[in-house]
Amino acid sequence: MFQAVLPLRGKILNTWESDAHEILQSVEIRDLATALGVEPGSPDLSRLRYGRICILADADSDGAHIATLLCALFVRHFPRAHPAGTPVCRDAATLSHRCGSDDLLCIG
| Residue among 8, 7, 26 nearest 77 (CA) | 26
The C-alpha atoms of residue 88 and residue 74 are separated, in whole angstroms, by 11
Residue 44 pLDDT level (bands cut at 50, 70, 90)? confident
State the CATH number of the domain containing residue 45: 3.40.50.670
Residue 15 located in a structural domain: no
Cα–Cα distances (Å) from 3 to 49, 68, 87, 89, in that order, read 9, 22, 14, 16
Residue 3 located in a structural domain: no
Residue 35 located in a structural domain: yes
pLDDT in tens, 11-35: 999 999 999 899 999 999 999 999 9
Residue 51 located in a structural domain: yes
Instruction: Give the total number of structural domains in the chain.
Output: 1
What does the pLDDT read at residue 92?
Answer: 66
Domain holding 26, by residue range, is 20-107
Q: What are phi and psi of 88, to 5 degrees?
A: -90, 130
Residue 14 located in a structural domain: no
Using DSSP's 3-state secondary structure scheme, residue 68 falls into: helix
Using DSSP's 3-state secondary structure scheme, residue 17 falls into: coil
More confident residue, 102 or 95: 102
